[in-house]
Structure 1
C-alpha cells in the first residue's frame, strides 16, 4: 500500500503551507483539499509536491547571507553549460589562516527535482550562522563551502535531472566531467585534498517516497584517518 503524503500550496509563491494527507481517488489519482480562502486576491493558488527552491531563490539567499554576515562571502562556483550563475557561499570566521582550517564542502540538488535538499542546505547554513556553541566553533575552525543548487539548468527549466543525458550530475564525478558545476567543484575539492584538509564532503539528496528513515553513506574504514575511525560506529 502506498503512503498518502501532503502537498504544498501557496497564494503568492513565497509563503508555503501543507495540505492534509491526500486521498487516493479513481485511476490512481490523488485528491487534496485546500482550506477556504487559499487563493490570492487574483484567484491564483500554486500547488507543488513540496515547497520549490529555484536557482533564483538560491541566488537571492546567497546574496542576502553574504550581505548580512561578515563571515559569509558570496561567490560564484561557475557558469552552467546554459550560462546560468551557480551561486556559492564561503564561510569562515576569525583570523585563522585557511591552511589551518578544516575543509568542509556541502552541496545540494545534483538531481534538480530534489528541492528538499536545498532547504536542508539553507537550514544548515542558518545553524552555522547561529549563536550555537558548536556552530561558532565550526565557523571559527573550518573553511566551509556551500552550493545550494548544483544542477541549475534543470532546476530552472523544471526538469528532473535524474539520469539526464549525456550524464547524470551525480555520476559525473570523473576525470572528464561533462557538467561545469562538477568540474568547478572538483577543482576546489582537489585543492583542499592536496592541502590535506578535505575533511567533510556532504552531498544532500531527497529520500525516496518509501524511505521513512534518514540514511547516510560514509567512507570505508580503511580510507579513514585514526581520528575519524574513532567516531564511526558500525551498526
Structure 2
C-alpha cells in the first residue's frame, strides 16, 4: 500500500488492513512455535540447563510478543470499524493502522528473541563455535535494531505529513509506551535470571542492554537460579 493512501478521505484501504491482520496472525503462530521449538531443542543439547531457568525469559518474550501481536490485531479491527471522517483520535483509521503496524514490528522482535536465543547460545556452547555464534548474534542485532527503532521511526516519519496534530501525539506516545514495555519487560527478566538485585540502577542497566539484546544471547546467566 502506498503511504499516500493514508491521506485519502477513505483512510487505509481494507485490503491493506486485511494483509496486516494476516501477518499479525502469522507472527502470533510463529512466536509460539519458535519458543516451543527452542525449548525442545535446547533440552536435548549437551549444555541443557534446568527447565525453569530456560523457560523464564522465553516465557516473557512469548508473552510480550503475543501481547504486541494481539494489540496489532485489535488496532486493525478497530481500523475497520472507524470512519475516515471522524476527527477524534480514538476514531481515526490512520492512528489505529499506524499503531497496529508499529506493534507488529515489536511482536516480530519478540518472536525472533524467543526463537533464536537458545539456538545462538547452543551453537556457541555445544559446538564451541564462538566466531559463528558471534556472527549470528551481530546479524540478529541488526534486525533487532531495525524492528525496534528503524522500521517504526521510518513509518512514523513517512506518515507524519498526513497526520493531524492530535494523531501525531497519539502515535508517538503509543509507540514510546509499547517500546518501553518491551524493553522493561525483557530487562526485568534478565535481572531476575542474572540473580542481580532489583534496584533501580540494575534495572536501568538491564533495559539499556536490551537495545542490543542479541549480543547477550552468547553468554550464560551470571548466577544460576536457586533450585
Compute the TM-score of the two structures, normalised by the length of structure 2: 0.30
Q: Which has the higher contact order (CA 8 A, sep 6+)?
A: 2
Compute the TM-score of the two structures, normalised by the length of structure 1: 0.30
